[in-house]
Structure 1
């Protein structure tokens, strides 16, 4: 039997040993060097050299890992890989949030609330754990996944092959740690500025045919959300969070593996205050209030589970998975303050429960052809309930034809429940036309039912040409279908607000539709020297019903809406060098997002903005022209028990959009932040490994604003973190 060994996924991993982002064109499958002892599919495992058979079991597990990767290679797309060492080189290392690590990839833009944008899209990121797509949740401030969970972390962008759909701005592909890749335990504690405390614990191992791994961390600090002012100490911004994940795998035989991944995250946030604000309303005779003592809070909880069966036989590989995810968001207002400043105090809760199944398979039907196909079925139920206080609109005593806000609050409730289904199937062929040219072509079909019922057939094609082992060129086209999140506001929720200060300026609320787009991508990767990789990527997207999101009032959550048409274009330049004790990387990206005519959820916008955007193209609020990052790391005494790693890291942004005269007409000032890290190994007798880490964030203490609170769908001002210092002690056992 001819083996397809290491896929593009595995090949990419070798390029990213110690730099924050290794970018390359994903390559067609290639034969791999075989380990000294390996069980072939469909045949008995070779005799293990050790009496317990543990080595043979480990080799079978490694082979199944490669074959799982072979089911879903990212052929023709652009892939940015972060190994465990690369993650360690980024500021705060594994203690950082997932989005902070992803910011080191080209074309990833920083936004408020800890959010990121990839290649001109607002959201639309897909997260996969060991190849299984995780349903989108409701959390805004918190990421339910942590770099601490990842043995390998990748961001896949560009013209995606047919196995990737529904969320297409980028695929965050996480290979979860296991007891084999991370045996033993490790405890760590990070502390520092903003009263930061972050303990973490992980443990993994293997017993006979069972592999187990578990990890958890707790985070407490006084800057849970970006500071709305430029001060060094935000007001009322405490947070307490925990994250956890466990993974268990069992080898049934040399060709069959069962696995289970379960995890969750729970976070509590205070909403930070801006002092000196003047109330917009009078409540029970009160018209003066200190905005610095407002007490608004938000809770975010998410739990998920994935069970998978992987089967390999000769040239056929299959993974079947079932998954479930529960997500809940709760908001508690300041009973008086919300009325004084917003005219609405909502005690609200939203929850979502999604369950589904996913299957993916590959079959090498001929030496030059590998067929791949799969399906996804998902059911999601979203419920929403809100108990509200608002002020009534009463006749103006000076003008009986006009209405003004009253001063005595009135209450009303609203709620909704909606069930949505998603169905997806795909089929594609990897055709090795010549030894240097590979064509991957196919299509997928997606259908949804919920607030709308829509479907689309989406053709995909990628061509990869490798004239030499050092040069790779690609071109690709993908038709995309991106459904809107199910948690939308219905017309009934608007109707109950009539006659109060919660009443919208207009009641137009056309349903949010799925985005449909044509995406073109080209790229070049060159390796001129040993350890050096440089590359270029360019892309263009034309979209109908372009999806965007905005934060409209409280609770602090994002609501989707459509532009009738949008154009997204840009390019990325990147380079990295990794050899010996040195690791260097740098990238620069440019993008432009233009959109026109808001066609859904119009009640969120003023009539003036709707009219202007209906007649002119505007920049999207998340559009940032130039984005860059760079970093360097050097290891002194590499390989010794006293090894010291020193690294420096920089992020640059030309500024997101704000509104001065017309919607989103101006960019905020450009900014750059410098971060420094030192990691020192400390040999202690009887210890399996002790490490001390120091991090300095924004060492120049630059003041930079991410948002002004103005712009289409922008709800609050936000500033980047001021200078901060952290120390981490980690102990292996």
Structure 2
């Protein structure tokens, strides 16, 4: 073809070999002889479209010439008069493409046309149909559902770069704690994470820091009296619906730099080809504030972290009603444990006279990997199903500073915990008739737990006083296999256009350090009183097995007679929690743009589960109160009109326990005696929690701000006091630019803790509280994202 000859001629003029013509298509495409039209036809993936029919039409619609694209998607027309023409391209399986070209007396024209596959549109429609079917398997009748959409995430000061736990803090009744922990409605942890409605078993570290917000298309936080399909972790169910490549081919690469020597590189890619779609996400982060600072200083000592996270979603349509998908995820994080300077050693070590506390070198390495293989589909118009096999591996390694830990705490423990969990989950729904939708499902998981503690400590007398400056060592190794089973059935009954009732039953059993089971009835109702007003109410019986991955299986006898010995020796096994939960709420659309909500709840508990940090490692140990009660109320407001959005969440809660009945060795005698005879606030109980935010788009720039208020977590002997209240305000501005030769680029500037308020999250006192932690001081971050 002539354009190839032109490219060859250019190579000869530049002194390049003839085969270099293949690398000059852009130059050849731009240089056309007068009266000549040449072009390139490709699909949305950038691949050439061969054997496409190309028609050249005049301004009055007459066809002047017809040709076909070659194997490289190229075509050409020659000897065309000056004027304006339409190049129309068609091929079976693709939408028609058109380009308008104008020839001048001195130059021809190059035409580049992209054809969209009609098959891709069919795949998109089928994928959306299956997404609706999958969502139809889940039900939330009678419970409280807080939806965080893609726009809500983008409007946060850090956008999609906001850590997942910080995203969830915008929801009502969610209080922050140290190490990225969350407390929903007065529970310690007890949060279940799902991806596309499939349970992800808990990791040892808790998934709050292992999942990246960037791969979420939307996040639902479900609380209250949950339907029968939700079990095990029930304070809150966080269901993340992932992004996928069914809608677009493209990607993003971004960089964030800022305070605390923060450096983060992240990227995404998504696409589809035929029946196959994919989405990939990865991020690498380094900063000098990996864990909350134990002092009020603006920067921490020995607090560097290196973290990387990867996520992949792959989906293939077997047919219009069946889809198989694969989800893979990995998180690998290394932390330095921050130091408090100028501390006084409490013990003496042979051969060491001085060891400043700011020089300690404790470290922790956390790894979590997970995978899900799911088959999801519909059978006719009545039955929807999802079958999933999942696997999760988790490891935590705490490496002490042997010298420093011995001198300051009297014990240096190298702690290694690993957990491998595998399981199956099956859910289905059957649309019996317009009034009844039946749902049922089963769940099984098996977890293999290994704990390895290598301990150095000093010999001690019966009162715990050091008797020698030469340490002794011992190793505590144990393993356990934990099995968890569950089955449920429920009916969603539409009694009228206004009233829907969902009732059901589930059965759960745990076989691990202890064995327990329970039948759990559930009932919830939603009443649409008016088009603007909706009421809901529900009751749920809950069965919560202890977090087996956190139970150390410690052999207490090994530590007796050393400074590693805990305060007590009684160690009853941690028991499953059983609770009766009541929830009632109302939502009212005050105006087309403003919605208000009010919700109240009460939870009566037997063997209430709580957790505490009782050692240097950033690991928690579960224990039970013999009884507990948790109650509260939440007020929400959401406003959205044109370019303005705003929200407010106000929560009041109380969480109380009485009588510690497991893992008692962690508590001293005075505290045990007091708790045995008095109701005490749980250490994570916060009386008032508030979150608010707003975003406004003006002249292409999105300005956003949010704020959090907490009245303070508990502190002091038996949690009889609480820390002072605090406020943190964050602001940001983001703008998308179309840069020549770069394309679409988004720039964002975020300022966290705008007023540089210093506040304590923990002060090191309280039941099961290991060390003080302060909230982050003012930080400024700049992000740049290039979209493809």
- What's the counterpart of residue 598 of structure 1? 660
**1:449 maps to which of 476, 490, 511:** 511
Are the aligned partners of 2:164 and 2:208 in contact in 1 as well (CA < 8 Å)? no
Q: Map 1:280-319; keep pairs closer than 5 Å.
A: 280-284=346-350, 286=352, 288-313=354-379, 314-319=381-386
- Are 1:242 and 2:308 an aligned pair? yes
- Are 1:669 and 2:724 an aligned pair? yes
**1:652 maps to which of 706, 709, 720:** 709
Q: Deviations over 1:120-164 (max 9, x none)?
A: 000000000011000011115961111111011111111111111
**1:514 maps to which of 570, 576, 579:** 576
Are the aligned partners of 1:476 and 1:520 in contact in 2 as well (CA < 8 Å)? yes
1:294 Cα deviation after fit: 0.5
- What's the counterpart of residue 357 of structure 1? 424
Q: Which moved more, 1:126-135 or 1:548-557?
A: 548-557
- What's the counterpart of residue 106 of structure 2? none
Q: Deviations over 1:661-708 (max 9, x none)?
A: x31011111111111110011122354421100000011001110000
- Judged with a 3 Å threshold, the aligned counterparts in structure 2 of structure 1 residues 142 and 573 are, in CA distance, closer, same or farther, namely closer
- What's the counterpart of residue 408 of structure 2? 341
- Structure 1 segments, 4+ long, off by >3 Å, are 47-52, 285-288, 401-405, 487-492, 685-688
Q: For 2:710 and 2:755, how far apart are their aligned partners in 1?
A: 16
**2:144 maps to which of 78, 81, 85:** 78
Give the unaligned 5+ runs of structure 1.
Answer: 1-46, 396-400, 638-642
- What's the counterpart of residue 490 of structure 2? 428
1:289 Cα deviation after fit: 2.7
- What's the counterpart of residue 724 of structure 1? 779
Are the aligned partners of 1:48 and 1:56 in contact in 2 as well (CA < 8 Å)? no
- Are 1:221 and 2:287 an aligned pair? yes
Q: Deviations over 1:502-559 (max 9, x none)?
A: 1122110000001100000000001121121110010000100000000011222011
- Judged with a 3 Å threshold, the aligned counterparts in structure 2 of structure 1 residues 489 and 127 are, in CA distance, closer, same or farther, namely closer
Q: For 1:491 and 1:302, how far apart are their aligned partners in 2?
A: 21
Question: Which secondary structure state, in structure 2, belongs to the residue aligned with residue 215 of structure 1?
Answer: strand
- What's the counterpart of residue 521 of structure 2? 459
1:493 Cα deviation after fit: 2.0
1:240 Cα deviation after fit: 0.2
Count the aligned residue pairs: 675
Are the aligned partners of 1:142 and 1:300 in contact in 2 as well (CA < 8 Å)? no
- What's the counterpart of residue 708 of structure 1? 763
Are the aligned partners of 2:503 and 2:522 in contact in 1 as well (CA < 8 Å)? yes
Q: TM-score, normalised by structure 2?
A: 0.84
Largest Rg, 1 or 2: 2
Q: Deviations over 1:52-107 (max 9, x none)?
A: 42111110000100110000122221111111121121121111210011001111
Q: Map 1:110-509; keep pairs closer than 5 Å.
A: 110-139=176-205, 143-181=209-247, 183-284=249-350, 286=352, 288-313=354-379, 314-393=381-460, 404-487=466-549, 489=551, 493-509=555-571
Q: Which moved more, 1:184-193 or 1:340-349?
A: 340-349
- Are 1:680 and 2:735 an aligned pair? yes
Are the aligned partners of 2:304 and 2:335 in contact in 1 as well (CA < 8 Å)? yes
Are the aligned partners of 2:714 and 2:722 in contact in 1 as well (CA < 8 Å)? yes
- Judged with a 3 Å threshold, the aligned counterparts in structure 2 of structure 1 residues 449 and 551 are, in CA distance, closer, same or farther, namely same
- Judged with a 3 Å threshold, the aligned counterparts in structure 2 of structure 1 residues 277 and 210 are, in CA distance, closer, same or farther, namely same
- Judged with a 3 Å threshold, the aligned counterparts in structure 2 of structure 1 residues 258 and 688 are, in CA distance, closer, same or farther, namely farther
Q: For 2:248 and 2:755, how far apart are their aligned partners in 1?
A: 37
Are the aligned partners of 1:349 and 1:385 in contact in 2 as well (CA < 8 Å)? yes
Q: For 1:135 and 1:89, how far apart are their aligned partners in 2?
A: 30
Are the aligned partners of 1:541 and 1:568 in contact in 2 as well (CA < 8 Å)? yes
Root mean square deviation of aligned Cα: 1.5
Q: For 2:284 and 2:179, how far apart are their aligned partners in 1?
A: 19
Q: For 1:402 and 1:587, how far apart are their aligned partners in 2?
A: 48
1:495 Cα deviation after fit: 1.3
Q: Deviations over 1:237-279 (max 9, x none)?
A: 0000001100100000111100000011000000000011111
Q: For 2:167 and 2:366, how far apart are their aligned partners in 1?
A: 22
Question: Which secondary structure state, in structure 1, belongs to the residue aligned with residue 430 of structure 2?
Answer: strand
Question: Which secondary structure state, in structure 1, belongs to the residue aligned with residue 786 of structure 2?
Answer: strand
Q: For 1:209 and 1:490, how far apart are their aligned partners in 2?
A: 47
Q: Deviations over 1:708-729 (max 9, x none)?
A: 0000000010000000100000
**2:627 maps to which of 565, 573, 578:** 565
Q: TM-score, normalised by structure 1?
A: 0.90
- Judged with a 3 Å threshold, the aligned counterparts in structure 2 of structure 1 residues 85 and 712 are, in CA distance, closer, same or farther, namely same
- Judged with a 3 Å threshold, the aligned counterparts in structure 2 of structure 1 residues 299 and 528 are, in CA distance, closer, same or farther, namely same
Q: For 1:549 and 1:48, how far apart are their aligned partners in 2?
A: 59
Question: Which secondary structure state, in structure 2, belongs to the residue aligned with residue 444 of structure 1?
Answer: strand
Q: For 1:180 and 1:481, how far apart are their aligned partners in 2?
A: 39
Question: Which secondary structure state, in structure 2, belongs to the residue aligned with residue 54 of structure 1?
Answer: helix
- What's the counterpart of residue 170 of structure 2? 104
Q: For 1:626 and 1:278, how far apart are their aligned partners in 2?
A: 37
Q: For 2:554 and 2:654, how far apart are their aligned partners in 1?
A: 37
